Amino acid sequence: MFVICAGMYRSGSTWQYNVASHLVEQHRRGGRLGFFSPEEFIAKYLAPESIQSDSWRVLKAHERHERFAELLSDGRALAVYSYRDLRDVAYSVMHKLHTSFEDAVLRRRMLHLAMANDEFWAKQPRTLCQEYGHITADPATCIQKLADHLDIKIDRAKSEVLAAEYSLEANRQRTGVLRAALAERGTDLSDSRNALLNDQDTLLHWNHLRTGQSGSWRELATPVQKAQLARICGHWLITRGYEKDESWGHSLEGLQGEIAELCQSYECLAGQLQKAQEESAALRAELTQLASESALRQKLGGTQASLESLMEFGAETLWVARKLQELARRHPRAAKWCKRTLSFFRSTAA
């Protein structure tokens, strides 16, 4: 018999997995298999060459698949399913994956996937559905219901013991031990690629837990995000009884505040842009001046070189050269002769 713990993302499905595994290990001589995608589970346990077993085996999964539906319909499996306010799911996923609202909700479409899986699991036979708020508020009662679903009889005292063993505080200690072990091994826990590292027995991740409270989305969501959440899952929230309508997602006052904040940011950026343009204009003017000074220095350098070469001729020779230039200006026809004479003087000086 397979026990499929197929809860919604971030809704207490790992808690269900650990409780179900504990009950099966203690009362059915079974064991836990770990987390699987549907394809991984089918390839390992449902392929024709797979070794069939009558023992009870507990697995954790999230995604829907028709082979899961077949197992439940054929009586070869039981399922337990947890669900939660999708708005809390969104911010819990963001925390877990070290990512943004835009990435988790808009790009990866995690809430769309959660709703599709919810529709599948909620209608399956032999499936126990438990709401996250009920699990956190009265875990002992939820444990008794889970045990009854597995046809395992435990009294209230035993369910209280299990509730304490898998409480938020106890699981927080487990994740703390895992976090410390990873840090000691030099694992970079700020790297989002390490966000899914977990304990292979409990499947608890090192960053698995937040406050455990419901409704934290109200403080975390911006007005724009609330409007986006209402568009994505507003109908589902009404159907599940979390809301009566979608007015929570359309706060005009909140939107006005966010628009005002965006306007202030725009004005700040506009001021920074204007300052940058002024600095750029000043820099261009300075570069133009430097270029002019450079050209002037080059011109002066050429003049100096000419003067230095003329000084080599001596005072008398320079006097003759000036007279020849004056003669060339007064009598243009004699210019060629004057130039040949000047060349003669230069070659003589050299």
Phi then psi for residue 77, to 5 deg, are: -150, 155
- Other beta carbons less than 10 A from residue 348's beta carbon: 9
Asked if 268 and 161 sit in the same domain, the reply is no
Would you say residue 181 lies in a domain? yes
Cβ neighbours of residue 347 closer than 8 Å, sequence gap 6 or more? none
Cβ neighbours of residue 33 closer than 8 Å, sequence gap 6 or more? 45, 57, 58, 59
SS3 201: coil
Would you say residue 230 lies in a domain? no
Asked if 163 and 67 sit in the same domain, the reply is yes
For residues 128 and 80, the answer to whether their CB atoms sit within 8 Å is: yes
Q: Given 212, 244, 269, which residue is the final one in a domain?
A: 212
Asked if 31 and 165 sit in the same domain, the reply is yes
Would you say residue 234 lies in a domain? no
Asked if 81 and 153 sit in the same domain, the reply is yes
Asked if 51 and 191 sit in the same domain, the reply is yes
Asked if 68 and 132 sit in the same domain, the reply is yes
Burial 169-199 (b: 16+ CB within 10 A, else e): eebeebbeebbeeeeeeeeeeeeeeebeebe
Asked if 282 and 322 sit in the same domain, the reply is no
Spatial separation of the C-alpha atoms in residues 284 and 290, rounded to whole Å: 10
Which pLDDT belongs to residue 4?
98
Q: Given 160, 179, 212, which residue is the final one in a domain?
A: 212
Would you say residue 91 lies in a domain? no
Which pLDDT belongs to residue 292?
74
Could you tell me how far CA 143 lies from the centroid of its own chain? 35
Asked if 58 and 172 sit in the same domain, the reply is yes
Which pLDDT belongs to residue 280?
77
For residues 23 and 150, the answer to whether their CB atoms sit within 8 Å is: yes
Would you say residue 340 lies in a domain? yes
Asked if 156 and 297 sit in the same domain, the reply is no
Spatial separation of the C-alpha atoms in residues 188 and 186, rounded to whole Å: 6
Question: Any idea what the CATH number is for the domain that residue 163 is in?
Answer: 3.40.50.300
Which pTM does this prediction carry?
0.70
Would you say residue 219 lies in a domain? no
Burial 4-13 (b: 16+ CB within 10 A, else e): bbbbbbbbbb
Asked if 171 and 261 sit in the same domain, the reply is no
Cβ neighbours of residue 101 closer than 8 Å, sequence gap 6 or more? 90, 91, 94, 225
Asked if 11 and 50 sit in the same domain, the reply is yes
Domain residues for the domain of 331 are 312-350
Element (H, E) at 94: helix 86-97
Would you say residue 249 lies in a domain? no
Asked if 9 and 147 sit in the same domain, the reply is yes
Would you say residue 135 lies in a domain? yes
Which pLDDT belongs to residue 313?
52
Sequential pLDDT tens for the chain (350 residues): 999 999 999 899 999 999 999 999 999 999 999 999 999 999 999 988 777 788 999 999 999 999 999 999 999 999 999 999 999 999 999 998 999 999 999 999 999 999 999 999 999 999 999 999 999 999 999 999 999 999 999 999 999 999 999 998 998 899 899 889 988 999 998 888 888 888 889 988 877 777 777 999 999 999 999 999 999 999 999 999 999 999 999 865 555 555 655 666 667 777 787 887 888 788 788 778 877 767 766 765 665 565 555 455 555 555 656 766 676 677 666 666 656 665 665 565 55
Domains contained in the chain, number: 3
Q: Which of 28, 32, 26 is nearest to 4 (CA)?
A: 32
Which pLDDT belongs to residue 21?
97
